[in-house]
Chain A
């Protein structure tokens, strides 16, 4: 996706300062929760770090390094959570994440990647349009008699594979919330996988095919707004689809909203107030795809004067969807919201991003376990998130640790309070 010149330029800018490994330093409050990069924290070899991967990108491009087993391992264990990218942009403004993504694309192009599990996922999608290989005709099986999407509406609900097949209650919750707030919505006639993990694992051709189809479906529906309750789908719609189609987010024929953004707006406009008490001390986990990775995509052709990239609009991670979920939680009577040490743009990845959970479930579980430890340190009874995949992984980590903590998707809490 980056030109070779730009890929080289960005990688060369790295001077191995290691800011990428820590959360924003002004926010460090303890040794235990000071680190940002899951692979660096777990494996510690320099290769398993953003700067190590940037250096490897240059060495591979220069023919000094091949895709060795360790390089492939480090490259695909990286969760692409974007923490490094946000940290680097405090000082050096390097596109760290884009270089790592491009290295994955090169790995696929050379037939060395992705991991076998990612190939299975891609095959499933080609055959059944969902990552699990479930029958395509079952995609709307989550619907119940009570849930009646409109035939025609201004808003379309993009469900996503996880909510359509695995965590179907999330799809039902979202529909009920929309209904209870008086919002008409429709479903796409033929929704396909959003391709978040396809894109992340470097399989761009398939990702582009999925983007093209889904955008066509959205256009066909006539909806101007696409709403979703999945962080992964949100990022695909808002960032990856335009990127794959060579456009900027603002040039897409639709606006993307996460359910929390929509409900927050209703609250701000005085159209929504939570009535029921939900007595609980909770902490909120920012999904990477809804937080620092969710900033609008701005297509840019490299053009420099001196070192100044002319006309570039930066994505630095500070404009993510951080406040809406918090505003909602704070607006629910009885909820006490406490923050983890690493929150908002400093959030520790829960481990499901980037296709990591598929290929490296043990490492993903370790990463999620770290997040649970941090949540427990706040004294919260529950951890709330806004991603089906992250909810599932966090729940597994809680079970593995036998921790006394509930795990919720934010839609579950909202529904309790409505």
Chain B
């Protein structure tokens, strides 16, 4: 749907004609359907601001002409179900400052996790790279979910790491939160007055874009080892060599799921490791596909390993549970030796056997890359049912997903109920459960139906999934969608931002 020429010219005056376009090919590329779901409409135009002031100018024009808008950096955004949307692409906003003394970074939406991590490593600091990959926007991901493997040691969900914020509300006002209110820094997030961070970022319930566009945030960063993590290999087969005096991987196998949970709880209590997780058997096949050796074998390697190694093992021992831990000599090499002894003692107590213990510490996915996308190799498409729960409750939720999987998608991968991944955070206070399910590209719609059925069952057991259906969960969860709508009316009086 074409927009008013006058409005279009006004947008051009904000960013310059080079950075706005209504060419059909430009807007076609902005509306991408990746996994089925509702048909999306081409935006009316695509625009690329470079500063918060430009974002504000665009939103004010949208309000003047009553044009709906949405915004994004790397992921397809919500809001494209409507006709005539202004698509605000924030990729050009790439400013980054790191205060290494005071352990925080100030950044704009276009800064990726890998770029931040690369800059932090040079300074002996670290951040969490989420499971979807170091290519995603730090700002967008951190405001929304923002977890990574090392959330186990350094804290939980991303939005809890956010300090001061700067927003352009959907009504076109600049909203500053925390120390950004008083001075030009992003050091702390509280006040003055009520802490408004929760108002803007509602964690995993829905996207914050429904109330405005965040243009800059401060995020906490963490001390790390001074030794360098050296990249190795030619893309696409690469890894990071971890300093062996500070890091050591262990894989270990428990005879039952229960033993695994109890041991992981114990590991958390003893505060050892940089991260700990269960390892679904298909991870090993994925690693084979990804080529942890020197040859990347792709889908053929995956299926060869799955059919001939993993599937027979699972059929033989369906309750066996593999785990992985990265021991971390934070502060000293002695600490690594201590952690190794503690782990050995816990594993002895719970009957674990070590599958692999190597001084060679290489990481492919937890510090920079996070290759979750490789999961598509198994069938063409996958979906993740993601929940955040206590560790013991997570196992119950996983059973729900298993039951629904059998009802639904003709499995491309017969996973025997083992493709659920448990990743504890905050020393096991909370657990991320990610249930991955695979289908062919043609069956991608079926995955959405599976997701719907799981959500219906989750309500009954009190599970806490990411992005729950508001209509389904709202009545049981204190009518939270109504509260969100009230906030939205306050900040988006013309209702132009995407709906919650």
Which residues of chain A have a CB within 8 Å of any CB of chain B?
12-13, 15-19, 21-31, 34, 44-47, 49, 51-53, 55-56, 59, 64-66, 68-71, 74, 86-87, 89-93, 306-310, 314, 316-318, 320, 322, 344-346
Who on chain A is nearest to B34 by CB?
A: A15
**Chain A residues in 8 Å Cβ range of B412:** 306-307
A-B contact list, 12 entries, CB within 8 Å: A17-B373, A18-B74, A19-B373, A26-B368, A46-B32, A65-B24, A68-B25, A90-B236, A90-B290, A91-B373, A307-B380, A314-B296
Do B371 and A31 have beta carbons less than 8 Å apart?
no
Given A70-B23, A90-B371, A322–B234 Cβ distance below 8 Å?
yes
Contact B26 A17 (CB under 8 A): no
A16 and B34 form a contact (CB under 8 A): yes
Q: Taking the nearest CB of chain B, how far is it from the CB of A346, in angstroms?
A: 6
Whether the Cβ atoms of A26 and B239 lie closer than 8 Å is yes
Decide if B235 touches A31 in the complex (CB within 8 Å).
no
Given A18-B136, A47-B29, A316-B296; A24-B119 close (CB under 8 Å): no
Q: What is the size, in residues, of chain B's interface with A at 8 Å between Cβ atoms?
A: 70
Nearest CB in chain B: distance from A348 CB, A: 13
16 other contacts beyond A27-B238, A308-B303, A314-B298, with CB at 8 A cut-off?
Answer: A13-B441, A29-B118, A31-B111, A31-B116, A47-B29, A56-B28, A59-B28, A86-B235, A90-B369, A306-B412, A307-B380, A308-B299, A309-B298, A309-B299, A317-B235, A320-B234
Indicate whether B148 reaches chain A with its CB closer than 8 angstroms: no
Q: Which residues of B contact A316 (CB under 8 A)?
A: 235-236, 296
Q: How far is the CB of A394 from chain B (nearest CB, A)?
A: 23
Question: Complex: how many Å from CA A320 to CA B236?
Answer: 12
| Alpha-carbon gap, A250 to B32, bound state (A) | 40
Contact with A along B280-305 (1 / 0, CB 8 A): 00000000001000001011100100
- Cα distance A44–B29 when bound, in Å? 12
Cα distance, A90 to B122, chains bound together (Å): 25
B118 close to A55 (CB less than 8 A)? no
Q: Which of B116, B240, B440 contacts A26 (CB 8 A)?
A: B240
- A318–B295 Cα distance when bound, in Å, is 10
Q: How far is the CA of A104 from the CA of B352 in the complex (A)?
A: 57
Q: Is the CB of B135 within 8 A of A55?
A: no
Is A28 in contact with B89, judged by CB distance below 8 angstroms? no
Indicate whether B393 reaches chain A with its CB closer than 8 angstroms.
Answer: no
Q: How many Å from the CB of A373 to the closest CB on chain B?
A: 15
Interchain nearest-CB distance for A220 vs B (Å): 37
Closest residue of B by beta carbon distance from A323: B234
Q: Within the assembled complex, what's the spacing in Å between the Cα atoms of A31 and B93?
A: 12
Q: A47-B26, A47-B29, A90-B235 are in contact. Are A22 and B112 (CB under 8 A)?
A: yes
Whether A28 contacts B298 by the Cβ 8 Å rule is no
Beta-carbon contacts under 8 Å, B19-40 to A: 19, 21, 23-26, 28-30, 32, 34-35
Q: For chain B, residues 361 to 416, give those with C-beta under 8 angstroms from any C-beta of chain A.
A: 364, 367-371, 373-374, 376-381, 412
Q: Please give the distance in Å from B377's CB to the nearest CB on chain A.
A: 7
B133 at the interface (CB under 8 A from A): yes
Q: Does B115 touch A at the CB level, under 8 Å? A: yes
Pick from B24, B75, B136, B296: contact of A68, CB below 8 A: B24
Known contacts A64-B28, A344-B234; A28/B371 CB under 8 A = no
Contact A28 B236 (CB under 8 A): no
State the 7 A-B residue pairs at the shortest beta-carbon distance, nearest first. A90-B236, A24-B235, A70-B23, A71-B25, A52-B29, A47-B29, A31-B115
A26 to B237, CA, bound (A): 10
Q: In the complex the two chains form, what is the Cα distance from A307 to B237 in whole Å?
A: 21
Distance in Å from the Cβ of A88 to the closest Cβ of chain B? 8
C-alpha gap A388/B396 in the complex (Å):
64
A90: chain B residues at CB < 8 Å are: 235-238, 290, 296, 369, 371, 374
Shortest beta-carbon distance, A178 to chain B, in Å?
29
Is B276 part of the contact surface with A, judged by Cβ < 8 Å? no
Chain A residue nearest to B382 (CB atoms) is A15
Q: Is the CB of A318 within 8 A of B235?
A: yes
Q: Does B134 sit at the interface, judged by CB under 8 A?
A: yes
Instruction: For B72, give the chain A residue with the smallest CB separation.
Output: A46
A34 touches B118 (CB 8 A): yes
Are A13 and B380 in contact, with the CB atoms below 8 A?
Answer: yes
Contact at A25–B135, with CB atoms within 8 Å?
A: yes
One of B115, B132, B232, B234 near A30 (C-beta < 8 A): B115
B192 at the interface (CB under 8 A from A): no
A15:B376 contact, CB within 8 angstroms: yes
Chain B hits for A310, CB < 8 A: 300
Interface: B91 (CB within 8 A): yes
Residues on A with beta carbons closer than 8 Å to the beta carbon of B48: 44-45
> Inside 8 A of B29's CB, which chain A residues have their CB?
45-47, 49, 51-53, 55-56
**A49–B26 Cα gap in the complex (Å)?**
11
The interface residues of chain B lying within 8 Å CB-to-CB of A87 are: 235-236
